[in-house]
């Protein structure tokens, strides 16, 4: 991986650059570049030992991987994949913020996941969608990746995203 490529390349994650990045690589996952803030809000805020991360939508290099309601426009499997993508985007934001503390290795545990699913009134499988986020966090962080969660339906989400995920991490 070429460390001089900045804009579209994934973040550096050589084996020596951290335990959690190595774990991501084992899982076949590449940490994306953190999204550039487009408004007055910021990707993360660290207060009192908790790193709050802004709600993430399932975008790759600025483009959503799916759009619309679950399951009308986006099937369950794809929605689950969206939740995974949201978590990767949250991890990218966290890693970038925590650079001076060792990146993702500074995360002691995952505290909370909020998962919003854009859906109609007869949808009931919010937990199955949210499991995409939860299972990934446990795959990466082990027992300390286990977190509290609220999974709910939304009438719609920013840019037509099918899923939005908000994460709070405990930082060492």
Residue closer to a second copy by CB (options 17, 123) is 123
Tell whether omega for the bond before 71 is within 30 degrees of 0, i.e. cis: yes
Q: 3-class SS at 118?
A: strand
Q: Is residue 19 a contact residue for a second copy (CB under 8 A)?
A: no
* Minimum CB–partner distance for residue 37 and a second copy (Å): 8
Choice from 7, 61, 100, 122 touching a second copy (CB under 8 A): 122
Choice from 34, 94, 113, 162 touching a second copy (CB under 8 A): 113
Q: Which residues pair with 115 in a beta bridge?
A: 151, 165
Residue closer to a second copy by CB (options 5, 42) is 42
142: left (phi over 0), alpha (psi -120 to 50) or beta: left
CB 117 within 8 A of CB 162: yes
Q: Of 141-170, which residues contact a second copy (CB under 8 A)? A: 145-160, 164, 166, 170
User: DSSP code of 80?
Assistant: H
Strand (E) positions, the chain?
44-47, 50-56, 59-60, 63-64, 107-118, 148-154, 163-171
Count residues contacting a second copy (CB under 8 A)? 58
* Minimum CB–partner distance for residue 92 and a second copy (Å): 14
Question: What are the residues binding a second copy (CB under 8 A)?
Answer: 38-45, 47-50, 52-55, 69, 109, 111-114, 116, 118-127, 130-131, 134-135, 137-138, 145-160, 164, 166, 170
């Amino acid at each position: 991986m070429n460390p001089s490529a900045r804009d579209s390349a994934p973040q550096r994650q050589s084996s020596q650059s951290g335990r959690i990045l190595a774990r991501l690589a084992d899982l076949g996952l590449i940490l994306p570049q953190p999204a550039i803030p487009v408004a007055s809000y910021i990707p993360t805020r660290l207060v009192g030992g908790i790193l709050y991360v802004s709600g993430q939508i399932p975008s790759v290099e600025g483009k959503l991987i799916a759009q619309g309601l679950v399951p009308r426009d986006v099937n369950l499997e794809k929605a689950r994949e969206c939740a995974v993508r949201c978590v990767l985007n949250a991890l990218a934001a966290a890693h970038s913020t925590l650079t001076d503390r060792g990146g993702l290795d500074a995360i002691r545990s995952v505290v909370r996941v909020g998962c919003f699913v854009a859906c109609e009134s007869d949808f009931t499988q919010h937990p199955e969608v949210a499991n995409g986020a939860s299972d990934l966090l446990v795959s990466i962080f082990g027992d300390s990746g286990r977190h509290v969660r609220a999974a709910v339906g939304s009438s719609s989400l920013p840019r037509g995203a099918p899923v939005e995920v908000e994460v709070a991490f405990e930082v060492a």
